[in-house]
A and B are shown apart, each in its own frame.
Chain A
Amino acid sequence: DDANSVTLQLQWVTQAQFAGYYVALDKGFYEEEGLDVTILPGGPDIAPPQVLAGGGADVMLNWMPSALAAREKGLPVVNIAQPFKSSGLMLTCWKDTGITSVEDFRGKTIGVWFFGNEYPFLSWMSQAGIPTDGGEDGVTVLKQGFNVDPLLQREADCISTMTYNEYGQVLDAGVSPDELVTFKYEDQGVATLEDGIYALEENLSDPVFQDKMVRFVRASMKGWEYAGANPEEAAGIVLDNDETGAQTEAHQVRMMGEIAKLIEGSDGSLDVADYERTVATLLAGGSDPVISKAPEGAWTSAITDAALK
């Protein structure tokens, strides 16, 4: 029934990045709240905000830059919870390219994820005053696919990686950390909030929906707590839920370990300071900023307040 069923749209395929939700489902935390939760995995062509707009899901996970951009496009999504405290995004470069600082990016080729995930990078570059159109003293941007080959094949000097996934894959390919230089967005002061929980504004005005979200967030956070405390088991649960059967245990265990670092210090409620920093970063996007003015009503603490009571 409508009052108790929730459909969650992930922003990527089933992996430990979303362990909290799978654990909550698997351990019956949702059921305890009387919820009937369906988790929809994402993929390369799925824009979660679009699925939300089309009514295919009630809540989605999203990176805040992409969510705020959707808001400006006229799709009023609202952050109702923020399980991820810190950003796992970074650039990973070959050390032998001579890159040691941001200034060294000039003249280099850098792989970037697009699909709404390019905003943090573009903001960063514009703050650093580095053009991204491939000139002599700018960077050449490659739209990066879903793997780390551009780096391994040396088509790119740096690529985007997540601490919990792609970076590990570079290492798995036999590369030792000594050969690499990394730039974490967190360290560069351009971190933006990742993997928040978002719902549509209009739905949130409905008390039944609101109640549903409260229970959903509460159970999800319980799931995250459990996953953080039991990384191996959580990874196992993720593996059970991976219908492709192609994920490996070692990989998911490591990912879970790294994810645990990112959720550390979050009880699920949005830290306003983090939010402000994200907005400031995005507004600083130079000639073509991601958002043109500070958004209003893009988040609410109502849900987490009720959930964490």
Chain B
Amino acid sequence: MPALVVVAVIIAVWTLAVVPMNAHLTADQAQRDGLVMTPEAPAERQEYSGLVLAFKNPQIIPLTYTQTRPRLPSPHQVTAELYDSVFTKKITSKRSLVYHGWVTLSATLLGFAIGTGLGILLAIGIVYSRTMDKSVMPWAITSQTIPILALAPMIIVMLGAIGIQGLLPKSVISAYLSFFPVVVGMVKGLRSPDAMQLDLLRTYSASPSQGFWKLRLPASVPYLFASLKIGISAALVGAIVGELPTGARAGFGARMLVGDQYGQPMVTWAALFAAAITAAALVAILTLIERQTLRRMGMEAA
């Protein structure tokens, strides 16, 4: 497994980085526990880099791996927390990451469905209507430059005002982030047929809808999948972002926030990794579907 090798390299680097990253905090702590540190004054220690500090005080090196509030937790700490919150808790328990994963995932999937549907429709509109191409595309781009976290509270307040709460507001934000890659990719894909392929249909005087189903859509499939993979990651990020202004109740986002605020970095890191693993799994599923589809379309090896 090539991925495993790369992961192993990353974990090795990470493990090494733990020492300098945590050296200062560990030194402060060790000093309080009665060890002698050089230099003595904590403020003075700030002058040194973590590496130098660890070098001057080698006794703190093992301690950097066991801090309860590290700047950078060690891999085994994160793994332990992940294991703990995924496998040792009942999945219906609010201490289980599986439970929070489902909260986030449901919003993600709904948002992704909305975003993808909207994105494809918009792309079709843009490709087929000059007016939409000229007037909407620039604004679709602009829409993405608006910081969603600034808009999110407003969206949620407005939806709340008309009585919509729960899954949908989060999904709206998730959809908002995922529709754009789909639009960009689909527009490019729908426009990818070359002149001869288009001319052929013109000689048949094929209707626009036939042109869509028989040429543009199949030609866009590889582009669509590339976009979907970016889109689903974006949808997940959107759902997590949406969890903060909906009252940070449950889900990965709520865990990250609360872990951060209450000085439990492991909770944050575990949620962060769980989110990324979820996304990787979603992307992997899409990749599988992509491979199947392209194989059936005879385009895999071309």
Contacts and interface: CB of A to CB of B under 8 A. Distances in A.
A54 B247 contact: no
Contact of B153 (A47, A145, A154, A174): A47
Give the interface SS of chain B, mostly helix, strand, loop or mixed. helix
A45 B153 contact: yes
Given A42-B247, A245-B93, A174 B29 contact: yes
A55 B157 CA distance: 8
Nearest to A157: B43
B261 A146 contact: yes
Interface string A43-84: 111110011011110000000000000000000000000000
Given A96-B41, A146-B261, A154 B244 contact: no
Given A45-B152, A243-B254, 17 more contacts: A13-B258, A41-B249, A43-B248, A44-B244, A44-B248, A54-B160, A56-B157, A56-B161, A96-B42, A153-B71, A172-B69, A243-B94, A243-B249, A243-B250, A245-B93, A245-B255, A246-B267
Contacts of B245: 43-46
A56 B166 CA distance: 13
Contacts of B49: none
Nearest to B41: A96
A261 to B, nearest CB: 20
Interface in A152-193: 152-154, 169, 172-176
28 contacts: A13-B261, A40-B247, A41-B248, A43-B244, A45-B153, A50-B153, A54-B161, A55-B160, A94-B43, A146-B260, A147-B261, A147-B262, A147-B263, A153-B24, A169-B262, A172-B263, A175-B28, A175-B32, A242-B94, A243-B94, A244-B94, A244-B248, A245-B99, A245-B100, A246-B254, A246-B267, A247-B262, A248-B262
Given A43-B257, A54-B157, A154-B46, A176 B32 contact: yes
B250 A244 contact: yes
Interface in B107-149: 149
Nearest to B33: A174
A45 B244 contact: yes
Interface residues of A, number: 40
A151 to B, nearest CB: 11
B201 interface: no
B152 to A, nearest CB: 6
Nearest to B69: A173
B25 interface: yes
A169 B259 contact: no
A97 interface: yes
Nearest to B271: A246
Contact of B248 (A13, A54, A245): A13
Interface string A86-116: 0000000010110000000000000000000
Interface in B216-269: 244-250, 254-255, 257-264, 267
Most buried by B among A45, A152, A175: A45
Interface in A188-240: none
B291 interface: no
A14 B254 CA distance: 11
A139 B42 CA distance: 22
Contacts of B259: 246
A256 interface: no
- Closest 4 pairs (CB-CB, A-B): A56-B160, A245-B94, A54-B157, A45-B245
Contacts of A154: 24, 42-43, 46
B289 interface: no
Nearest to B94: A245
B10 interface: no
A59 B99 CA distance: 31
Contacts of A147: 260-263
Contacts of A152: 25, 69
A116 B255 CA distance: 24
A50 B152 CA distance: 12
A46 B262 contact: no
Given A152-B25, A247-B262, A46 B247 contact: yes
Contacts of A245: 93-96, 99-100, 250, 255
B204 to A, nearest CB: 55
Contacts of A43: 244-248, 257
Contacts of B198: none
Contact of A96 (B43, B149, B249): B43
Nearest to A146: B261
Contacts of B94: 242-245
B16 interface: no
A76 to B, nearest CB: 17
